[in-house]
Structure 1
């Protein structure tokens, strides 16, 4: 089903500065692909539960689906036609009736180290206060530096940068992509190693979500980036196998070289004391079934990591205790 040229394409988005910047990029791209003026591709701002709750970690209140739930309800109800999400916020399973229609070209997938006092992660002194809301970043930081004191950091990017600048933390960790999209890349002191800080599945990518059956519009094909979509299929396959959420420290990242895809995925204990990792390749990235093959590779590697970790599951209370007193 294609959208009629005269019909407005309503884009649902969170109200944060980053979400509006990302959705604005997609608004202009859709308008260009359809030959429409921007007023025919309006942004519909939706406040999500995840936006309203700023004083607790997401794992305490229901996980990262809290950033997508209200927007997906609006899509299902017909109040919007398209939803724009940060891919790393999108749960592994799509709600019935919805689908990821397109994945634009990915931004920088690395994590960024930000500090007014220290030039790099390795330069942090013993016992330094490191701000993050991510269990993955916490675990990876502690795997390298168990002496660090991890402190909760929620809020929009400007709020987080301000709190660091005012001395509440010795350093903070954020996604490089968000800083780039907001024009705040000057705050980055170091782009962290993709090996030491393996990104969250889908980090740096956007998800364009539609109702099922509305994915063959001209703009969908124009915005979809096949290689990014292939990498994301592999990473989300691993996430599915690892039950990736805000309750588990999971990383997955795919790269390309010499005609193949290389996927690395891992799971960590919240205190960083244990780390399980596997890597594998997909040979023919141009095959007709390459995306299905990438997803299967992710599921296989994720399953192997899950088996390596065994029954070492972590309760919510253990996670909370670790975040309070690393």
Structure 2
């Protein structure tokens, strides 16, 4: 009769790997196998090191009286003088107010827009029709703001604008959309939503494709309407993506795109169109006050960091944090 001898408990609990603790050490064979993947990853690392992390050292000029002759590290230290000078200017508070106002309006109208559009497209059953609509709404994302700005000016300009052509024909007098603060803000926000709405829609549609179709079938058999299915199945299914994108969006509240503002602003509406990015361009590049503009940029980055951490802290209370 054959008998099998079971190993002692110490041997059974012993890790099978040759390394202590069961952890695998450095393997030259695995490293050689992964060389092509590592080579493909190197340009990404180089990009972030050169263009994202290395320029952080340049923030030191916010605490210096920077000049070209002494350079970044040779210029004399002035401590917080640039920040004191920045926040004693009467124009600074209005610039920060404009930046916050435009960013919050973009977040208020721009963030839910792709979610609503994705929900609508997800209910379209004609595949060809849905793909055509996706292409149409996604196309503006690839256009530069120079092109989009030219289209907006062509449509809303007072002299030869398409809309004012019909307004003048019907009411006899054109309306200065780009020269009134309220209408300029409306044009600014709506053009930004139109340009970037398609990109967010693609992200949400990709997230919706991972939802189990059986959930919709079960809900339909139970008599749930389309709105009920969207509220109880679709939205909870993409909730994590919504939270992640919202956290990332809060980090850009203090950052209004320079291209969009620069292409649409004019001197008449400068009281509402002057934001931090255009201030840095006007004072830093055109006025050569590099230390002052660096102080403004550093302040903008710090506020963005605080907002991201705060939004993530709130999301973690609902088990949806990004980090």
* Structure with the bigger percentage of helix: 2
Structure of larger gyration radius: 2
* Structure with the bigger percentage of strand: 1
Q: What is the TM-score with the length of structure 1 in the denominator?
A: 0.20
